Amino acid sequence: MNTPQFNSIIHAPNRLQICSLLAPLEDAEFQLIRDQLGVSDSVLSKHIKQLEDAGYVMQRKEKVNGRQRTWLYLTKIGRNAFEGHVAELMRIVEASVF
Amino acid sequence: MNDKKTEINSKEANIALESIRRSEKSSLQQSMPPSWLGIAISIIVGVLVFLIAAGLRDYYFLPIIALPIIIAMQRSKMKVSARVPTTNKKTVIALIGLIVIMIGLIFAGIYARSLYGTMTGPITCSLIATLIVYWMSISERNEHQKKIDQVIR
């Protein structure tokens, strides 16, 4: 379990969804994340850029049948930051119960 | 930026945790291996066991070619790839066990064919091999489903 730490980069609703979609996976296609979030390519790119700048997400491009596919995945730092953020959210919820 | 202490209340934290659970569940559902893949792989393995046990060497290439094609097809269709757990002792033992069983079935098929001179032995062994692989694919899907149901932090 990671140290609970609130992360304002991850906490933004769309970025939180991106991280939680990627967390249980090795990688996921850009299109799928976009459809799950219900946002445009440019909006998703903007959020991915912010996560990339923080070193949390990386992109991998692959050409399949002449079509370019972009895959996204959480880096080790990103995974730790996400786990820490989730731990902090859980701590806040638990603290309010007791 | 990430070190900045931000105050959020428990209600907001709860909403965020709910959103995380929903997204993780959705991701795991997307990464569920399709049932057709298990059926296809078990049939291909069964055919391979039958061909070897029956001594039909001219046709060995068919399942050997079909297997990577099926896997490549599945990979190109999937939009996500599930996290592969680091190889543990249990997985290695299961894999070795499976290989031993398959080799055993092939030899049993060859022995039955030489003993009775019919294809009943190879067919029976290939059916057993098919069922074993199919059962494994069902178990894998069930494990995955369990993981989806357990998305509770």
Residues in chain B closer than 8 A to A21 (CB atoms): 23-24, 26-27
Q: Residue B87 pLDDT > 90, yes or no?
A: no
Instruction: Classify residue A55 as left (phi > 0), alpha (psi -120 to 50) or beta.
Output: left
Q: Which residue has the higher pLDDT, B65 or A98?
A: B65
- Exposure string over A32-55, b if 16+ CB within 10 A, otherwise e: bbbebbebeeeebbebbebbbebe
Q: What is the pLDDT of residue B108?
A: 94
A98 pLDDT band (50/70/90 cuts)?
A: low
Q: Residue B142 pLDDT > 60, yes or no?
A: yes
Mutation for testing the B interface, residue in A7, A37, A89, A90 having most B CBs under 10 Å: A89
A58 pLDDT band (50/70/90 cuts)?
A: very high
Q: Which residue has the higher pLDDT, B31 or B152?
A: B31
Of B8, B23, B153, the CB nearest to A90: B153
Q: Give the mean pLDDT of A22-44.
A: 94
Residue type, A75: T
Question: Closest by alpha carbon to A31, among A65, A68, A56, A79?
Answer: A68
CA distances A88 to A24, A40, B36, B123, Å, are 19, 30, 41, 58
Q: What is the pLDDT of residue A65?
A: 73
Question: Closest by alpha carbon to A10, among A94, A75, A59, A93?
Answer: A75
CA distance B113 to B53: 8
Q: What is the pLDDT of residues B33-84, one digit of tens each?
A: 888 999 999 999 999 999 999 999 899 899 999 999 998 888 888 888 888 7
Residue with tokens 């995945």: A73
CA distance A50 to B36: 39
CA distances B107 to B15, B94, B101, B134, Å, are 59, 20, 10, 21
Q: What is the pLDDT of residue A42?
A: 95
Instruction: Classify residue A38 as left (phi > 0), alpha (psi -120 to 50) or beta.
Output: left
Residues in chain A closer than 8 A to B2 (CB atoms): 5, 7-10, 54, 81
Q: What is the pLDDT of residues A4-27, one digit of tens each?
A: 889 999 999 999 999 999 999 999
Mean pLDDT of chain B: 87
Q: What is the pLDDT of residue A91?
A: 92
Edge to edge, what strands does the sheet with A25-29 contain? Answer: A57-64, A67-74, A25-29, B80-82
Q: Residue B3 pLDDT > 80, yes or no?
A: no
**B13 Cβ contact list (under 8 Å, min separation 6):** A89, A90, A92, A93
Q: Residue A41 pLDDT > 60, yes or no?
A: yes
Q: What is the pLDDT of residue B2?
A: 47
